[in-house]
Amino acid sequence: EVLNFILNTLVLRDSVVSTESLNLLRQQIDELDNELLEVLNKRMRVSREIGQYKKEHRMPVLQIGRHDEIMQSRAALAEEMGMSGDFMRTVLSAIHEESVRQQIEVLNDRTR
């Protein structure tokens, strides 16, 4: 009876997997990763500009209200797109940490 259940619930797949299509998909992932890195680089450049503004106006690097707003809105948007809100908060936390590091470098740079 159990064997019959198992046999009836098996999903048969083609035994030949096209490595060519897998390679094409992986190539797309590589291209998207490169695009993502480019966007992150642009974001860090803007973060450094924000750091310069904060330095000139004697503002603190951390803006808790802004941070919370971004976390909530981006997590909600990610969920609308079918991603996990927790995943997006993790990604944004890492991005925010690097942004803060970049801004602190600007604040500590005496040549600017």
pLDDT band per the 50, 70, 90 thresholds, residue 4: confident
What is the residue whose two structure tokens read 């809105």? 73
The pTM for the full model equals: 0.77
Neighbouring C-beta atoms of residue 103, cutoff 10 Å: 24
Burial, 40: exposed, middle or buried (Cβ in 10 Å; 0-12, 13-18, 19+)? middle
- Condensed to tens digits (0 to 9), the pLDDT of residues 15-71 reads 566 777 888 999 999 999 999 999 999 999 999 999 999 999 999 999 999 999 999
d(CA 83, CA 72): 14
What is the residue whose two structure tokens read 């948007």? 77
Quick one: tokens of 56? 């000139």
* pLDDT exceeds 90 at position 72: yes
Helix, strand, coil share of the chain (percent; to 5)? 80, 0, 20
What is the residue whose two structure tokens read 């998909």? 25
For 7, the enclosing helix (H) or strand (E) is: helix 2-9
